Amino acid sequence: MKLYVNELNKHVGEEITFSGFVDTIRDKKWVMFVILRDSTGKVQMTIEKSEEANASLLETMNKVTVESTIKVTGKLVGNDAVKLGGIEIVPTTIEITSLADTLPFDFNNLDGVNIDTRLDYRWLDIRNEKNTLVRQIESCLTEGMREFLYKQNFTEIHSPKLIGAASESGSEVFEVKYFDRKAYLAQSPQFYKQMALAGGLDKVFEVGPVFRAENSNTNRHATEFTGFDLEFAHIDSYEDVMSLEEDLLIAGLTKVKERYGDKIKEVFGKEVIIPTKPFPVMRLQDLYQEFHDRYNFDLPKEDIGDMNAEAEKLTYRLAQEKYNHEFMFIVDYAATKRPFYHMRDENGKLQGYDLIWRGTEITSGAQREHRYEELVKNAKEKGLGKDVEFYLQFFKYGCPPHGGFGIGLDRLTMLLLGLPNLKETEYIFRGPNRLNP
C-alpha cells in the first residue's frame, strides 16, 4: 500500500518507499533537494552530492523533469532544519515511473491563465492545491449528507439516465439516438424517486448526473451537473420536507467545518457557518414587498410568481439583515411556474418551496401530488400527455403521501467556497461549448 505524506510522521527512522509527483527540484552545489507531492501534502527528499553512493541517484534525477512521478526507497529521517514537517527522505533507490513533458501553464499560479485553457488541461488544473481541495471538500460535504441519510434509514438508489419520454417539468432535455428510435437524457431523477416510494421503499436518495439542454452561459448553469436528490413518504406537509433539508444541510456543513473549516478560511477566505434551525421562511408576496420597501426593487412582470437572479441576490441580503441568517426558504410560488407534480392545496396554493443560500437558489422542494386523479388533472393543465402516462401509472395502485427535493451539488460547493463559477466547481465542466476533455 502506498504511504501518504500525511502519515509519514509515524514512520520516522524507518526504511520506507514513497511514490509521488516531483513538485520542485532545487539543485544546489553540494546537495539536491527534491520536493515530492501527493494528494495529502509535500515531503522533501535530500541527496548529498559528496557521497559517492549517490552518483547513480543523481544521474537518475538529472533526467527527471518537474511533475514527473518517481518511486523512492530510503530512510525517513527527522531533521528540524526541514521546513516541510521536520522530516526528509534520504533515498537509496529512485525509479522514474512517468516522465513529464513541459507543462502548458504553471498550475501553481493560475492568475492570468484563461479558464478555458485551464479546462482544456483540467487534470493539470486540479493539481493546483486550491482545486484539489475543492474536490476533497465536495467529497466531504457529500459524505456528511450521505451519512445523515443512512442514519435516517434512507436507501440510496441509482435510477436510469436514459429515458424514453421527453417531458417532466418543461426543462429542455437532450435527445439521443437509441438504436432505431429516440431516447432522452434524464433532467432529474424525479419520476424514479417517486416510483421507489410507490414501490414501498419509504425513504430514498440519489446522488447522480442531471442533464439540462439549457443553452445558457451563466455562472450557475451547466448542461450536466450532479443532483443530490431525495424523496420520502408519509409526510403531513411540505414543512416536513423543509425540516429534513435543514437537518441535512446542517449535517453536511458540520462535517465540512470539522474537517476543513480552518483550511477553507485560509485558502478561500470563507467562514463555514453552521446554520441554526429553523431557517427563515418568507412568502413570495411578502418578499416582493420587502424588496420594494427596503431596496426599491420591483420584479419585472414576466417574473411575477417566481424569482430572478437579482431577486435571489436581494433575498440573501434580506436574510442577513432581517434574520441574521444565510439561508432563506421562499414559499407560495405561483403554481403556473412550477411542475405539475408539486401538490397544490384546495385553494390552488402550491405546497412547495425554493431554498436560497448566499444569493443563489440551491433547491426546489415540495410535497408531491400523490393522488392519481389530481395528478392527471395537473398534467392536463400543463398540456402534458403521452410523455407522462407511464409516470401517472405509479399512483394507481397505492402510493403514500410524500415529498422531497433536489439540491444542485455543484452550486452548493460553489457557494460554500465563494467560487465565481461552476466551471471552477464541477469536477469536469459541461456547458453549451464544452464537451471535452
Q: What positions carry a catalytic annotation? A: 212, 214, 220-221, 361, 364, 411
361 binds ligand ATP (CB under 6 A): yes
User: Residue 170 CB, nearest distance to ligand ATP (Å)?
Assistant: 9
Cell of 25: 527540484
Cα–Cα dist 188/339, whole Å: 12
What dihedral do alpha carbons 44, 19, 21, 261 form, nearest 10°?
-80
Single residue of 120, 143, 202, 214 touching ligand ATP by CB under 6 A? 214
434 binds ligand ATP (CB under 6 A): no
Question: How do 224-233 and 175-178 pair as beta strands?
Answer: unpaired
Stretch that binds ligand ATP, among 294-302, 368-376, 387-395, 404-412 (CB under 6 A): 404-412
203 binds ligand ATP (CB under 6 A): no
**What does each C-alpha distance from 216 to 116, 142, 182, 194, 359 come to in angstroms?**
16, 27, 24, 29, 19
363 binds ligand ATP (CB under 6 A): yes
410 binds ligand ATP (CB under 6 A): yes
194 binds ligand ATP (CB under 6 A): no
Which residue has the CB atom at the shortest distance from ligand ATP? 408
User: Residue 124 CB, nearest distance to ligand ATP (Å)?
Assistant: 24
338 binds ligand ATP (CB under 6 A): no
408 binds ligand ATP (CB under 6 A): yes
User: Residue 365 CB, nearest distance to ligand ATP (Å)?
Assistant: 8
> What residues between 150 and 189 interact with ligand ATP by CB under 6 A?
171
- Hey, what long-range contacts does 17-21 have (CB within 8 A, 24 or more apart)? 17/71, 17/72, 17/73, 18/43, 18/71, 18/72, 18/73, 18/74, 18/89, 19/69, 19/70, 19/71, 19/72, 19/97, 20/69, 20/70, 21/67, 21/68, 21/69, 21/127
Cα–Cα dist 88/328, whole Å: 50
Query: Of 148 and 225, which has the nearer Cβ to ligand ATP?
Result: 225
Q: In what order do the strands lie in the sheet with 402-408?
A: 155-156, 203-211, 224-233, 402-408, 360-367, 352-357, 327-331, 281-283
Stretch that binds ligand ATP, among 158-166, 197-205, 221-229, 326-334 (CB under 6 A): 221-229
Query: How many whole angstroms from its chain centre is CA 69?
Result: 29
240 binds ligand ATP (CB under 6 A): no
Instruction: With beta carbons less than 8 A apart as the criterion, state whether 427 and 135 touch.
Output: yes
Stretch that binds ligand ATP, among 82-90, 218-226, 268-276, 295-303 (CB under 6 A): 218-226
364 binds ligand ATP (CB under 6 A): yes
Q: What is the binding site for ligand ATP (CB under 6 A)? A: 171, 212, 214, 221-222, 225, 361-364, 406-408, 410-411, 422
